[in-house]
Structure 1
Amino acid sequence: MTVETQPVMSGTLTSSAPSCTIVSGSSSCNVNFTWTTTNPQAVSTVTKPTNVNVANGNTGTNVSFAVKYNSETFYLYNNSQLLAQSTITANCVSGTVWNGSICALSQNISPTVSITSPASNVTSFSLNSTLNFSGTISDPDSSSLVVSWYIDRMGDNIESALIKESTQTPGVSSGSITMSGTKINTDTQNISLQDVGATYNLTIKVFDSVNVIETTRSFVLVGVTATCSDGIKNQNEVDTDCGGNCAACAAGGKISIYPNNPRYFQSASGTPMFLLGYYNWACVHPDGTIDHFEPYGYMTSTYANMIQKSQDYGLNYIRISLGINKINTCRAAFAYVSGKADLDQWDTVYWNGFKYYLDLAKQKGLIVHITIFDAVDFRGGSEDYRWVNSYWNVDNQKQSYYGDLDINNNGYADQAGEFYRVSDFNNNVGVGKYQRKFIDKVIQETGNYDNVFYEIGNELLGSTTEWNYAVASYIKSKTDIPITENSCDKKSGCLAKASSTDGLTKHTPDTMSEVKTSVGELSGLGYPFMQDPDGSGIMAASSNDLRAAAWYSFTGGAFGWGGFTEDFWINNVRTDVLRYYGNLIKFIEQTGAPFWDMFPNHNLVSNSGVNSVLSKTNNYYLVYVKSDSQITLNLAQASGTFTVKLYNPATGVFTDSSNVQGGSTITINKPLGATDWVLHLKSTANATNTPWNTFAEINKRVSSNLANALTAFWSAFGAFLVGVFGD
């Protein structure tokens, strides 16, 4: 007899994953299963508790089963025999919780915020006062909050202006703002902070990554009684607290060299100035057009627009060149008769238009740097602004006043012995006679203004030191208004100026690093200097780079920054650049930093090839940081406690103050959200800002070789004067 053995039955049940995630609003998630049955005795069944049949068949491949929260076990049966099982876990997606039936969004507890200052019973603030604000924030389920403070003027219907922003833990947020000038909102619109009678809203907003909570405190801005000691240029004052109803302004009533630190100019009232603005190339009277640079064609005069924009953003400087050819409807200094220049007659429309700009600049609070001659018009080329169309060219004159200045017939006269003839100038003959006549006219029309100073000429590349000396000496014999020199080629060193000029401006740098280097070359020479470049690199520079150039100039000890711009030609004014420049002026005003009493000391900061320091040892330190996220500052020679403020030059926002101790090297980190940044460090001892003896300071800082060279020069020059004039 044969006995048959029953084949052994077996099976497998496997899942594609050991777990799955339930989305918000659902009660289950899906996982794929695969199963097999070997030697089946019947049809296999896949079940889950309790006796729920989810699939039938002896095999299955990637069959999707729903898995409920929190886990479920699946079983493979055949003929009531358990062959295999698999357990899958199911969890709620992040941000949700199981509420008994589905995965629901977890509830966020919103932060709470209240303004503690100004107090609720304070309903007004005075013009030019400092508004100190603070708020208290709590949040039980978030340790990282974005806190933002805004201000707006009721009725403007524009975006509020950000005045402070930080990421912090729950607690106190505070800061301050001066109720004067303007603030710029994110749409680059101005919000006036000096509208007496207007209602202002101060708002704090707190964001916890889910909710934004805000609260607002409103107040009315009230005026202050104008006096002659309020530190404000108001009433009918000529300058701050002088002139008009007040006592007369300082003797002279004009711009002059600041006597305690001759690296700077001072205003008519004796206030040292850092000048910041633009120079351009445009008609010197309203409504004229000019065709400078072919891509832009004819352009409407831009000085009025520049002056108005400068005031809007708080700038204080503009440079105007008088040496413009007669182009299209752009008139020239001399009258034209039958299409030819008459060097014995003036064009009254030109000069009246020029004085209109001077009056407008004075009204708007701007200093005007008047450039008398312009060598752009002496150079070769076919454009109307070149020598071919110059009124100094005999071919364009009603008669020959001094002959052909282009003695080598190369198509231009920007060379020694051509336009620049020392003998002619000193003896008041030839072209020198008309150069003197032009200078006399400039002084006659502008000498009574208290907001002007002079420059011999723009880009006088072919001039000599002797010619500049002669011209500056002549100007000084006529007026006590300062005169600067601009005779450097864009790529030459040019560290010297004629001894009769008061300062030097340079076109040399064409990149931001060149600006820093060039400023450093001149910082120890003891006279005003400034970079006003117009190379292709500067004109194409980004707004951020132009901001850096201005700060390099300020912390490098220059008297200002006035780089050339094409923005106003193409009617595409970069308001962000205007805002950045205005932020630097506001920084000086708000901090009261005594820059006139400070000196460049870049070696105190780490990465000094890129970063800059302007300091007064043991009293004040201003550090401009181009991009480093962390710097060190050597305070080994300082003592006592210093207050630290960090400033974002792009937004114009300060962070909260802290204190550090002198006597060692300190480490400072970049403020949140800044690209470049400024460290403001001031002694808490409140040392007086008495200007140091500049020449003594320079002697300590300038290399011994240069100091010896200067001593030798002045000794030789003194001997020369004795030889000429006697004792």
Structure 2
Amino acid sequence: MPFILLLAGCSNGELPQNDGGIGISKDYPQYWEYGGKPVLLLGGSDEDNLFQTEGVERQLDLLSSAGGNYIRNTMSSRDSGNVWAFEKDPATGLYDLARWNEEYWKRFHRLLELTSEREIMVQVEIWATFDFYRENWLINPFNPACNINYSAERTRLPVRVDSHPTWCENPFFWSVPGQHNNMPVLAYQQRFVDQLLYYSLQYGNVLYCIDNETSVTADWGRFWSEYIRKKASEAGKKIHVTEMWDPHDLGHISHRETFDHPQTYSFVEISQNNHQRGENQWDNGLRQIERLRSAGNLRPVNNVKTYGNWQGRHGGGTHNGVESFIRSVLFGSAAVRFHRPPSGLGLGDTAQSVIRSIRTATDRFSFFDAAPHNELLGGRQVNEAYCRAVPGREYMVYFTGPGEVEMDLQSPAKRFAVRRLEILTGQWSDETVPSDGNLIILRSDRKHLLYLIKKK
């Protein structure tokens, strides 16, 4: 059946449709839709390659119970207990790139099945960059020293790559026709991608990202994006593809390869922005969305990795991780996920509380009609509070910590109901706040407090 799927085509030259699968919202092109309705993607998971873990079903159930609907899945095999995609000869210890390890694909297929049943979107990263460098390259089946299919001399692939991926010293990522045109390697890369699509195109809940934190030439990502989109089209499917660049500054020119080429990348991935802290993270993310809007290229902007955990070294600690997640939602990210521990909060208790609270709050608010409006907050200090609103009708105000702001509701305050949400506990309360005509004063006495103000 899957081979029939891959050979099916489109008639009358029409673009393939999603048939209720994940797609860009027609009414709100900054966001995704699923089942024909706009959807905000919120998520977290304890691993980046969730398909390789024994507790995958429990993790997905936990995410779903918290209101989450979004995970990341790298096709990585570098962690203990993981399996590689290819068959290994136990006698020689060498892989055969022409033969599959069925366990690897069984795990991937099961993840797709389980997520589809739960309406959880999967952002698949095809090439797990760090699997191809340093100690991971020494055991990678694509290493010529680890397989029976080609030699280092024939492919010019090194058997050791001791540098960080930002040095771009593994020509594995230069195999495409626009670069080295390394046909022996490219043939097996294509075979791997075809097998991935064999499974993923059967499901409508998959988004595609070419790499993780890449620094290589844009030719590589462009080649694979065009290839998988064509394969999908031949199968009567429309898929959505992005690339993830390494620079932490979204103003770096490499990110323009994604921002400025919607014909190649139908959505944008800005996770590296989450290395920024405080208001810088908000400003940089919002700036990119406004630039896309001004250029006429507005489309979903995803944040598949939100950093921040006291146990890790990225993202400024747990509270900044929570802030970054919520700021990303309010400035307009279409998808936001907590990165795996220790670099992120994964799907621990804090992450679950945040996901559940933000889902509840956004469901009670005209979220897709609203936009960022920090200018409505009088007396606001840097990184004190953030506002998303439909001015004159509905307002959502998030306090990162203790603070006080004034807001002009543009109508008498008595016409509005004010509710307060303690994000880390999920506790809602009706509030009476100081007011004077159209003005109200909002106060916070703790971290991570949210106000919802709506016309009665």
| The two structures share one fold, judged by TM-score above 0.5 | yes
Residue 602 in structure 1 maps to residue 374 in structure 2: yes
Residue 396 in structure 1 maps to residue 146 in structure 2: yes
* Counterpart among 272, 285, 300 of residue 528 in structure 1: 300
> Could you say what secondary structure the match of 1:339 adopts?
coil
CA distance in 1, matches of 2:274, 2:438: 35
Match of 2:332 in 1: 557
Contact 1:491/1:509 (8 A) holds in 2: no
CA distance in 2, matches of 1:302, 1:282: 12
* Counterpart among 80, 84, 102 of residue 332 in structure 1: 84
CA distance in 1, matches of 2:27, 2:455: 22
- Structure with the bigger percentage of strand: 1
- The 10-residue stretch of structure 1 (395-404 or 638-647) with the greater mean CA deviation from structure 2: 638-647
CA distance in 1, matches of 2:247, 2:369: 31
Trace 1:420-439 onto structure 2 (pairs within 5 A).
420-421=173-174, 423-424=176-177, 429-439=183-193
Match of 2:392 in 1: 618
Contact 1:472/1:483 (8 A) holds in 2: yes
Q: Which letter does structure 2 place at the counterpart of 1:266?
A: E
Q: Which letter does structure 1 place at the counterpart of 2:87?
A: A
Q: Which letter does structure 2 place at the counterpart of 1:264?
A: Y
* Cα pair distance change 1:410/1:310, threshold 3 Å: closer
Match of 2:25 in 1: 258
* Cα pair distance change 1:258/1:637, threshold 3 Å: farther
The one-character-per-residue Cα deviations of 1:255-311 (angstroms, maximum 9, x if unpaired) are 01112222211113333223232362446345xxxxxxxxxxxxxx45344223213
* Cα pair distance change 1:342/1:609, threshold 3 Å: farther
Trace 1:68-83 onto structure 2 (pairs within 5 A).
none
Query: How far does residue 579 in structure 1 lie from its aligned partner after superposition?
Result: 2.0
- Structure with the bigger percentage of helix: 2
CA distance in 1, matches of 2:381, 2:204: 38
Contact 2:68/2:120 (8 A) holds in 1: yes
Contact 1:456/1:483 (8 A) holds in 2: yes
Match of 2:235 in 1: none
Contact 2:133/2:161 (8 A) holds in 1: no
The one-character-per-residue Cα deviations of 1:569-611 (angstroms, maximum 9, x if unpaired) are 99x973233222222112223x1x2322222222222426312
Query: How far does residue 356 in structure 1 lie from its aligned partner after superposition?
Result: 1.4
> Could you say what secondary structure the match of 2:323 adopts?
helix
Query: How far does residue 649 in structure 1 lie from its aligned partner after superposition?
Result: 1.2
Query: How far does residue 375 in structure 1 lie from its aligned partner after superposition?
Result: 0.6
Residue 683 in structure 1 maps to residue 455 in structure 2: yes
The one-character-per-residue Cα deviations of 1:313-368 (angstroms, maximum 9, x if unpaired) are 2322211111324x654211222234222222221111111111222223344222
Match of 1:311 in 2: 64
Query: How far does residue 419 in structure 1 lie from its aligned partner after superposition?
Result: 2.7
- The 10-residue stretch of structure 1 (493-502 or 388-397) with the greater mean CA deviation from structure 2: 493-502
Q: Which runs of 5+ in 2 are unaligned?
A: 1-16, 233-237, 293-297
Q: Which letter does structure 2 place at the counterpart of 1:397?
A: N
CA distance in 2, matches of 1:551, 1:561: 9
* Cα pair distance change 1:569/1:467, threshold 3 Å: closer
* Cα pair distance change 1:363/1:452, threshold 3 Å: same
Match of 2:11 in 1: none
Contact 1:641/1:659 (8 A) holds in 2: no
Q: Which letter does structure 1 place at the counterpart of 2:143?
A: N
Q: Which letter does structure 2 place at the counterpart of 1:357?
A: L
* Cα pair distance change 1:603/1:496, threshold 3 Å: farther
Match of 2:221 in 1: 468
Trace 1:23-422 onto structure 2 (pairs within 5 A).
252-278=19-45, 280-282=47-49, 284-286=51-53, 301-325=54-78, 329-337=81-89, 338-380=92-134, 382=135, 386-400=136-150, 403-406=155-158, 415=168, 418-421=171-174
Contact 1:504/1:530 (8 A) holds in 2: yes
Contact 1:424/1:430 (8 A) holds in 2: no
Q: Which runs of 5+ in 1 are unaligned?
A: 1-249, 287-300, 685-727
Contact 2:407/2:439 (8 A) holds in 1: yes
* Cα pair distance change 1:360/1:253, threshold 3 Å: same
Q: Paired residues, what number? A: 409
CA distance in 1, matches of 2:433, 2:127: 52
Contact 1:322/1:372 (8 A) holds in 2: yes
Match of 1:642 in 2: 416
Q: Which letter does structure 2 place at the counterpart of 1:541?
A: G
Query: How far does residue 508 in structure 1 lie from its aligned partner after superposition?
Result: 3.6
Query: Highest CA radius of gyration, 1 or 2?
Result: 1
Residue 496 in structure 1 maps to residue 256 in structure 2: yes
Contact 1:424/1:433 (8 A) holds in 2: no
Contact 1:539/1:565 (8 A) holds in 2: no
- The 10-residue stretch of structure 1 (496-505 or 513-522) with the greater mean CA deviation from structure 2: 513-522
Q: Which letter does structure 2 place at the counterpart of 1:509?
A: N
CA distance in 2, matches of 1:470, 1:669: 52
CA distance in 1, matches of 2:165, 2:97: 18
Contact 2:371/2:388 (8 A) holds in 1: yes
CA distance in 2, matches of 1:538, 1:519: 18
CA distance in 2, matches of 1:663, 1:485: 49
Q: Which letter does structure 2 place at the counterpart of 1:574?
A: G
The one-character-per-residue Cα deviations of 1:125-147 (angstroms, maximum 9, x if unpaired) are xxxxxxxxxxxxxxxxxxxxxxx
| CA-based RMSD | 3.6
Query: How far does residue 658 in structure 1 lie from its aligned partner after superposition?
Result: 5.8
CA distance in 2, matches of 1:283, 1:622: 33
Contact 2:145/2:159 (8 A) holds in 1: no
Query: How far does residue 651 in structure 1 lie from its aligned partner after superposition?
Result: 2.0
Contact 1:523/1:600 (8 A) holds in 2: no
- The 10-residue stretch of structure 1 (544-553 or 426-435) with the greater mean CA deviation from structure 2: 426-435
CA distance in 2, matches of 1:490, 1:389: 29
* Cα pair distance change 1:602/1:342, threshold 3 Å: farther
CA distance in 1, matches of 2:390, 2:50: 43
Residue 452 in structure 1 maps to residue 226 in structure 2: no
Contact 1:580/1:650 (8 A) holds in 2: yes
Query: How far does residue 429 in structure 1 lie from its aligned partner after superposition?
Result: 3.0
Q: Which letter does structure 1 place at the counterpart of 2:268?
A: L
Match of 1:581 in 2: 355
